[in-house]
Structure 1
């Protein structure tokens, strides 16, 4: 499969690196994890909105109450 024939399968807000212990996840560097049909991925460092981060599907840090 060439780069020209691969398609974007998933695009989700993701950390550039996980938060440190005790760090508020909103202060992390965020971007978009893009996964393609050929199994490759790309990290786009364009920051998602806070709402997009809150409503993402994966890798959530449990809220402290």
Structure 2
């Protein structure tokens, strides 16, 4: 039986240096348990609030 273990906002492709996160294509990284645990990227945009509140997939500011 396929069960969702976790679901997190995630970008489709890593940002380019200096790129704002609002310009990225967002979706959900879903972790399923079905025999061997596996991940799947679901192209369904999270809300802006869900993106801001995400725990992972952070963009770190460039330091000079």
TM-score, length-scaled by structure 1: 0.82
The answer for unaligned runs of 5 or more in structure 1 is none
- 1:54–1:63 CA distance, 2 compared to 1 (3 A): farther
Higher strand fraction: Structure 1 or Structure 2? 2
Question: Which of these residues, 16, 22, 46, is aligned with residue 20 of structure 1?
Answer: 16
1:63 shift after superposition: 5.1
Segments of 4+ moved more than 6 angstroms:
none
TM-score, scaled to structure 2: 0.83
Q: CA RMSD in A?
A: 1.4
Deviates more, 1:10-19 or 1:31-40: 31-40
